[in-house]
Amino acid sequence: MPEDNLRIVLASRPDGRPKPENFRLEHVAVPAPSEGEVLLAIRYLSLDPYMRGRISAAKSYAASTEIGEVMTGGTVGEVVESRHPDFKPGDFALSHSGWQSHAVAAGSALRKLDPKAAPLTTALGVLGMPGFTAYAGLLTIGQPKPGETVVVAAASGPVGSAVGQIARIKGARAVGIAGGPEKCAYVRENFGFDAVIDHRDPDLAAKLAAACPNGIDVYFENVGGHVWDAVFPLFNMFARIPVCGLVAQYNASGDFPGPDRLPVLMRQVLSKSLMIRGFIQREFAEAQAPTFRREMAGWIAEGSVKYKEDIVEGLPNAPEAFIGLLEGRNFGKLVVKL
Amino acid sequence: MPEDNLRIVLASRPDGRPKPENFRLEHVAVPAPSEGEVLLAIRYLSLDPYMRGRISAAKSYAASTEIGEVMTGGTVGEVVESRHPDFKPGDFALSHSGWQSHAVAAGSALRKLDPKAAPLTTALGVLGMPGFTAYAGLLTIGQPKPGETVVVAAASGPVGSAVGQIARIKGARAVGIAGGPEKCAYVRENFGFDAVIDHRDPDLAAKLAAACPNGIDVYFENVGGHVWDAVFPLFNMFARIPVCGLVAQYNASGDFPGPDRLPVLMRQVLSKSLMIRGFIQREFAEAQAPTFRREMAGWIAEGSVKYKEDIVEGLPNAPEAFIGLLEGRNFGKLVVKL
């Protein structure tokens, strides 16, 4: 049996960019499972941009993490003690145990993972929540048609890379936006996007326009910020804009300086019959997740979807890795190995 | 045979609010129909907010009217000469002949109207484009469910009044916004809305919130402007926002002063999974117009949809009536009787 549970709790709410002192490492007793539960030793923790929303006091789609509570997060755990008939020690399971080394979970809330079918980390990335966000948002809201142009930012990340590759599977052109020459080259060469633009390029707008000679039919919005201004003039009639994240503005607070872009947006929404639709992947999970896992596993097996992971070692490094994620310092799906 | 064609052409593009001198009345020869065409004497001309977009140089969903061209518009005409087998003199037809007393049109582009089935003017209003805009936008994009709250502005106008009444037919609560006590009373008493707020009320936001104790599920956007700010905080999760008009900002040009409301909008789109969708009714016309005409005629016959018309006499009064329309001076569907 493990001697103690290492965990990271929210010490204080960040004002703007999170700092290391907003988080606190604690040692507490390892909990014991009740009937129907299992005790998990967490092997991998997923770090994702949505966590910034959970530690803000602002109302969002999910309840905030309270001060002193364990940071939330998707995890892969190994069963060390089981009081549920479906699990035995040594089994692996997907759970939502947060930033800690051990956790008790109801067996009914877990999905067993087969480490021989796919690397365990993929359950947190390309075969997990980020991959499903790309799949459901692109196919259900974006609905790319053959020959259309799909643009996505954070294209080297787990959502963006899947969006572009699925778009290509559906016969659309994929144009990615990423930060810096290394990521851009990777997106073009390894993920096979048709074109990639560096969002730090001062000529972003002109270069994006050149990369989209037939305009933009789907913009998968996961960053917000200045990329929007480059994308906005290029929308075609009936363009679709699934919105799953706004990482570039998560650390912002207070009023934004003018001019007011809302009336200009609404005018374009009207004159181009645009559709803007925010979503959280779990809206689609019940109906589509099994199909997604089967299709995505097939695409990975045949080589039409590739993925990249950025593995950080050790739970104490999670806060710094998370802060870096919000600034685009990760390169691929960010996972903490415990 | 008529001796001449009276018409109103675009004399110059308005800068902001249109003025009478942007329009010019002309007398020209009455055209002669070719084979397959008919000559129409226009009896009724529809005036609608979308016409402001057509006389602007800005790119929109439809080509601009050029300087010197006849102003565009839906019309009801009486056939005075026919070279098409489906029409004979004395027949009435719906056409898009614009601001003029006579016009030639292809018989294949006309829809014959039965003056005994419904007043001819309704083909321009509740049974025509505005009624169909309400029907298609509300039912296809808004999709109100029983018990939900639907909010619409310009609620005494032809689109808004139909939106609220159809919402109630579908079991939703209808909350209207209109300008001034007379229109508000009419919307509540004659159109049967559950609540009506005066948009000139300095407490608009608080009164709208009080009228929507369960939040807003559908906001049918046809005005823009300051009404949006009252509506915006009240959206429920998964609210739908069909956008068919922005009459409050049609006369605006140049930058809008800050703060920038776009990042705030996008944050709400994300955290509430909002859907914003611009549309023009003709996107849905082929699939839905016949069903609409049958259903709407039934609702009118049974008294569950009422309508109000504002009839102006004489084509020379069209420019002043149109200028007033953009400022909400009409009361009901604005039609010019020739």
Residue B95 has pLDDT above 80, yes or no: yes
Dihedral of CA atoms B53, B57, B58, B64 in degrees, nearest 10, equals: 50
Q: A-side interface with B, Cβ within 8 Å?
A: 53, 59-61, 221, 224, 228, 237, 243-246, 249, 252, 255-280, 283
For residues A149 and A220, what is the distance between their CA atoms, to the nearest angstrom?
11
Question: Which of B266, B281, B283 to substitute to test the interface with A, most A CBs within 10 Å?
Answer: B266
User: pLDDT-based confidence at B247, cuts 50/70/90?
Assistant: confident
For residues B118 and B53, what is the distance between their CA atoms, to the nearest angstrom?
30
Residue A141 has pLDDT above 80, yes or no: yes
Residue B29 has pLDDT above 70, yes or no: yes
Tokens found for residue B136: 């298609």
In this structure, CATH architecture of domain A129-278: 3-Layer(aba) Sandwich (3.40)
Buried b (16+ CB within 10 A) or exposed e, A190-218: ebbbbbbbbbeeeebbebbbebbeebbbb
Average confidence (pLDDT) over A92-117: 97
Angle at B78 between CA B75 and CA B79, to 5 degrees: 120
Q: What is the pTM of this model?
A: 0.94
| Every domain range in chain B assigned CATH 3.90.180.10 | 5-121+308-337
Average confidence (pLDDT) over B265-274: 95
Which of B276, B150, B137 has the alpha carbon at shortest distance from A262?
A: B276
- Higher pLDDT: B98 or A328? It is B98
Q: What is the pLDDT of residues A276-325, one digit of tens each?
A: 999 999 999 999 999 999 999 999 999 999 999 999 999 999 999 999 99
Provide the ipTM. 0.93
| Every domain range in chain A assigned CATH 3.90.180.10 | 5-125+308-337
- Contact flag A266-B246 (C-beta cutoff 8 Å): yes
Question: Amino acid identity of B34?
Answer: S
User: Measured between alpha carbons, how far is residue B330 from residues B50, B288, B310, B326, B334 in Å?
Assistant: 15, 29, 7, 9, 6
Average confidence (pLDDT) over B104-114: 96
Smallest Cβ distance to B259: which of A224, A255, A274? A255
Work out the mean pLDDT of chain A and round it to a whole number. Answer: 95
Q: What is the pLDDT of residue A188?
A: 98
For residues B126 and B164, what is the distance between their CA atoms, to the nearest angstrom?
13
- Contact flag A271-B246 (C-beta cutoff 8 Å): no
Residue A59 has pLDDT above 70, yes or no: no
Smallest Cβ distance to B276: which of A264, A269, A272? A269
Q: What is the pLDDT of residue B61?
A: 61
Q: What is the pLDDT of residue A225?
A: 86
Q: What is the pLDDT of residues A16-37, one digit of tens each?
A: 899 999 999 999 999 999 999 9
| Residue of chain B with shortest Cα separation from A63 | B271
User: pLDDT-based confidence at B251, cuts 50/70/90?
Assistant: confident
Residue B2 has pLDDT above 80, yes or no: no
Residues from chain B that touch A267, judged by Cβ atoms under 8 A, are: 246, 249
Average confidence (pLDDT) over A232-259: 89
Smallest Cβ distance to B278: which of A61, A264, A269? A269
Q: What is the pLDDT of residues A249-268, one digit of tens each?
A: 777 777 888 899 999 999 99
Average confidence (pLDDT) over B270-298: 96
CA A305 to chain centre: 16
Which of B126, B123, B104 has the alpha carbon at shortest distance from B44?
A: B123
Q: What is the pLDDT of residue B289?
A: 96
Contact A298, A219 (CB under 8 A): no
The rounded percent of chain A whose pLDDT value lies above 70 is 98
CATH homologous superfamily of A5-125+308-337 equals: Medium-chain alcohol dehydrogenases, catalytic domain (3.90.180.10)
| Every domain range in chain A assigned CATH 3.40.50.720 | 129-278
CATH code: domain B5-121+308-337 is 3.90.180.10
- Contact flag A278-B260 (C-beta cutoff 8 Å): no
Q: What is the pLDDT of residue B249?
A: 79
Residues from chain B that touch A137, judged by Cβ atoms under 8 A, are: none
- Contact flag B270-A277 (C-beta cutoff 8 Å): no
Average confidence (pLDDT) over B286-308: 96
For residues A269 and B246, what is the distance between their CA atoms, to the nearest angstrom?
10
Q: What is the pLDDT of residue A2?
A: 65
User: pLDDT-based confidence at B252, cuts 50/70/90?
Assistant: confident
The rounded percent of chain B whose pLDDT value lies above 70 is 98
Question: Which of A133, A219, A267, A280 to substitute to test the interface with B, most B CBs within 10 Å?
Answer: A267
Could you tell me how many residues make up chain B? 338
Q: What is the pLDDT of residue A61?
A: 60
